[in-house]
Amino acid sequence: MFESRPCLRFAGDPFAKRMGTVFTEILADMTMKVDDGSGAWPKGMMHTSTTPFTKPNYYDQMWSRDAGRGLYELARYGLKEEAESVCDYVLANRVHGDHWGRIINCDAGEAELDGNTHLLMGIYRTWLLGGRKETTARRYMEKCADVFAWFRRSMDECPVGELIPCASELSGRPETADYAIFPNYGAWIAMQAFEDLCAASGMNDYANQLHENSNRLYRAMVSTFTRDGMWRNGLRQDGTPADVGHFCETDFDIRYWTRQLPFIQKGDLTLHPAYLPEEESRHAASYREILCRMAQHPYFRKYGFVSCTCWAGIGPRHDDAMAGYGQNYMTQAALLMEDVNVYGKCLEGISRLAYDGNVVRRLSFDANPWVMGECFSYARYESGEDHTYATDDNPGDEGNLVQSAETLKSLALTLGLEGTRDGVVFAPRLPWEWDEAECLNMPVIRNGERINICLEMRHERWRRESRVRLHADKAMGRLRVRFGPFPAVMPGRAELERIYGAHNVVTKGNATWIWMEADADTKWEHVMRY
């Protein structure tokens, strides 16, 4: 039962049913990208595209952004051999000396802060999967210390206040490196992750340095990137607002876009992050602003489709309708905000975009009906044409690594299963009409130990009953389970508060959630009637 790779299934509306297949096929496609070294490419290289014969194509390139996110998801889902192979290749190939370039396996002439932060988080997650071993931590930190020194040096040299410059798609692709919120927030998260790695492995000097520099960076972000109580995109080198992006001779408006939801990266430390009150307020204000602008377009209201720029557009280019940086970033933000109506709509959008098995006149190569492409044409979807053939005649690079990885992250947040220092948390974020969630062999890390879990959650709303079953290959320890979502106004709430405790019956927005705690061995089950 606990030997194969993880499987995930949902049931309910048609989009729920499809999403389990999307998960399984994307995860299988991702493992195909990890080279075994038996052919022309070195072992551990993670190809950005699945095959070498589609167009556009990045098969011969290992983009740092893509590889970092792909590595993280390989490790999250317990694919230890593949993750460690990629990790070893990454650590051995750094063409820019003290940091990684935009493309890992060749010198593309540029480096991206977000590519470096994504790689660091993938390395950290691989260390967790391997059991938080001290020897592994020291080997990884020996290779990564220079990257953090590059962060610190960049902060020291910053003319606008202890920030790190970046020239990438996640900062607007400026002609010269800007100071942008999304990659800087990612650096802050990576410093916290490696502080944990160093502290757990006796590298106290490194841990203290990372703690100090992460605090410096956070203060700089708050003082520089906050406007009207929410995050703004960033600053130019001269301190003026970075409100215009530049990409392949195209200028576009980035005053409001999905990269101003940087807090989604905190979901890489834990699926259930806690925020300081002022931090939570800033995240919520940023989310509300982006949501308000996103919901102005019928594509979002009808299908759950997301625009990277809140419909400002990127001229003639295809990049405004991207699966990872647009669709999944917005989905992850809604999931972390636990905005049930919105995350349900966004997940519907993912389910629609990933599937192209109903396209009767294909304009691009279809390798797999359920694997996510890079970018799309929403107008073609509306007219029943091939939506994977995007604007500017871009076939969409089906299986593009970072877009696929972000889809897997969105589904991890939806399932809400993870290990803690003393047990397991299962707090799913299901849409209203997703009635079932089931997984097999899903790995979690509890205090450095891997536990594989099979579970089932079933809402039988017609009889006002919710059931959860968990079965693990090791004792789960302290188990925290959250049931829901239920309506904000519930008949019999007083009785539920009496049974489960008033502090465990929580209403947020238009949904109520009910928590339970128990000490669990390898099996646990509860039926909640409401």
- pLDDT bracket for residue 465 (50, 70, 90): very high
Q: In this predicted structure, what is the pLDDT of residue 174?
A: 78
Q: Are residues 162 and 213 in the same domain?
A: yes
Going by C-alpha positions, the residue among 244, 248, 258 that lies closest to residue 392 is 248
Question: Does residue 169 fall inside a structural domain?
Answer: yes
Name all contacts of 55-63 with Cβ < 8 Å and 24+ positions apart.
55/395, 56/374, 56/394, 56/395, 56/397, 57/397, 58/397, 58/400, 58/401, 61/103, 61/105, 61/106, 62/103, 62/104, 62/105, 63/102, 63/103, 63/104, 63/115, 63/401, 63/402
Q: What is the pLDDT at residue 188?
A: 99
Instruction: Kindly state whether residues 195 and 319 are assigned to the same domain.
Output: no
The residue among 384, 405, 426 that closes a domain is 405
Q: How confident is the model at residue 104 (pLDDT cuts 50, 70, 90)?
A: very high
**At 478, which CATH number?**
2.60.420
Residue 25 sits in the same domain as residue 45:
no
**Structural domain that includes position 421:** 417-529
Q: List, as one string, the DSSP characters of 297-348.
A: SHHHHHH----TTTT--BTB-STTSBIIIIIIHHHHHHHHHT-HHHHHHHHH
The residue out of 385, 405, 425 marking a domain boundary is: 405
Q: Are residues 444 and 367 in the same domain?
A: no
Task: With respect to residue 3, please indicate whether it lies within any of the assigned structural domains.
Answer: no
For residue 231, being part of any structural domain is answered with no
Measure the CA–CA gap between 18 and 351, rounded to whole angstroms.
7
Q: How high is the pLDDT of residue 366?
A: 87
Predicted local confidence at residue 3, as pLDDT? 63
Q: Which of 88-92, 205-209, 313-317, 458-462 has the lowest mean pLDDT?
A: 313-317
- Same-domain pairing of 58 and 23: no
pLDDT of residue 176: 79
* Assigned domain for 133 exists: yes
Task: Identify whether the C-beta of residue 387 lies closer than 8 Å to the C-beta of residue 394.
Answer: no
Burial class (CB in 10 A: 0-12, 13-18, 19+), 157: exposed
What is the number of structural domains in the chain? Answer: 3
* 184 alpha carbon, distance to own chain's centre: 16
CA 218 to chain centre: 21
Average pLDDT, the chain: 96
Show Cβ contacts of residue 229 under 8 Å, excluding neighbours closer than 6 positions.
281, 282, 285
Predicted local confidence at residue 1, as pLDDT: 56
- What is residue 185's predicted lDDT score, i.e. its pLDDT? 98
Residues 81 and 205 in one domain: yes
Query: Mean of the pLDDT values across residues 454-479?
Result: 98
Same structural domain for residues 434 and 365? no
pLDDT of residue 301: 99
How is 426-446 classified by DSSP, letter by letter? E-----TTEEEEEEEEEEEEE
450 within a domain of the structure (yes/no) = yes
Cβ of 136: how many Cβ atoms within 10 Å? 18
Residue that is last in its domain, among 165, 191, 221: 221
Residues 267 and 311 in one domain: yes
Distance of CA 404 to the CA centre of its chain: 10
| pLDDT tens-digit series, residues 415-426 | 999 999 999 999
Q: Is 90 exceeded by the pLDDT of residue 25? A: yes
331 and 447, same domain (yes or no): no
Q: What is the pLDDT of residue 54?
A: 78
Residue type, 269: L
pLDDT digits (tens, 9 = 90+) for 166-209: 988 888 877 779 999 999 999 999 999 999 999 999 999 999 99
Q: Confirm whether 1 is domain-assigned.
A: no
Tokens of 6: 């993880």
**DSSP β-bridge partners for residue 524:** 470
Q: Could you tell me if 397 and 427 lie in one domain?
A: no
pLDDT band at 395 (very low <50, low <70, confident <90, very high): confident
pLDDT at position 524 = 99
- In this structure, are 350 and 423 located in the same domain? no
70 pLDDT band, cuts 50/70/90, is: very high
pLDDT of residue 447: 92
Residues 393 and 444 in one domain: no
pLDDT at res. 396: 78
Q: What is the CATH number of the domain that holds 205?
A: 1.50.10.10
Q: How far apart are CA 483 and CA 26, in angstroms?
A: 28
- Looking at residue 136, what is its pLDDT? 98
The pLDDT, as a whole number, for residue 171 is: 87
Calpha distance 424→417 (Å, rounded)? 7
